[in-house]
Amino acid sequence: MTTKDPVDRLLATARGAPVDEPFRVTGVMMQYYHVCERELWFESRNLEIDRENAAVVRGTRVDETAYDEKRENLHLGMISLDLLDDGRVVEVKPSSALTEPAEMQLSYYLWYLDRVAGVRRGGVLAHPRERRRESVELTDQRVEKVESAIRSIHELVRRPSPPPAERKPFCDSCAYHDFCWC
């Protein structure tokens, strides 16, 4: 199958159709795209992240312990879901500090489930430490944002070199800090 649109290419890849250039976007890639394009580029090259980094460890621990009794870790092609709760997709995050990237990651899961599996679901963004939960629905506006992000991610990860580093409030806790500021 030859298709130029990255969204069609991703869908064909997810459905197992023969594609000239398979194209995959994980939930983490969708999240990184909305955090830092340079971080996304590094992630796309499978560069090993610093597991001792305090922020990474913190995020991992909350992911490993929160909602333990309900955790399902459902893997569906390019996406891995934390859990389903009453049929809703729940994404667990340690803090609400980076709301938009987390919302877009969850929106991508909802979009992927709808487009690839034909299953329409709502979502919940959960911040157990803050005892907060917010609903995320796959509206037409979110569909547009997800598909626009997929096209931008496709363009970004094909670049031969990463976008330049731009100082952000969370650079000091980023796993790729030493690739940017040392």
Q: Which of 9, 34, 38, 115 binds ligand SF4 (CB under 6 A)?
A: 38
Q: What are phi and psi of 76, to 5 degrees?
A: -135, 95
CB of 31 to ligand SF4, least distance (A): 12
Q: Which is nearer to ligand SF4, 43 or 91 (CB)?
A: 43
Instruction: Find the part of the chain contacting ligand SF4 (CB under 6 A) among 17-25, 106-114, 121-129, 171-179.
Output: 171-179
168 binds ligand SF4 (CB under 6 A): yes
How would you classify the pairing of strands 88-92 and 123-127?
Answer: parallel
Residue with Cβ nearer ligand SF4 (38 or 127): 38
Q: Please identify which residue in 19, 25, 39, 92 interacts with ligand SF4, judged by CB under 6 A.
A: 39
Non-local (6+) Cβ contacts of 22 within 8 A are 9, 13
Distance CA 147, CA 124 (A): 20
Q: Is the Cβ–Cβ distance between 137 and 123 less than 8 Å?
A: yes
164 contacts 38 by C-beta, under 8 angstroms: yes
Nearest residue (beta carbon) to ligand SF4: 174
Write the CA distances from 22 to 8, 9, 10, 25, 88, integer angstroms: 10, 7, 7, 10, 29
Q: 3-class SS at 89?
A: strand
Q: Which DSSP symbol is given to 34? A: H
Compute the least distance from the CB of residue 151 to ligand SF4, in Å. Answer: 21
Residues 7-36 that bind ligand SF4 (CB under 6 A): 36
Report, in Å, the least distance between residue 138 CB and ligand SF4.
28
Query: Residue 49 interacts with ligand SF4 (CB under 6 A)?
Result: no
Q: Contacts with ligand SF4: how many residues (CB under 6 A)?
A: 11
Residues between 99 and 118 with contacts to ligand SF4, criterion CB under 6 A:
none
Does 159 engage in binding with ligand SF4 (CB under 6 A)?
A: no
Distance CA 27, CA 15 (A): 17
Residues that bind ligand SF4 (CB under 6 A): 36, 38-39, 165-166, 168, 171, 174, 176-177, 180
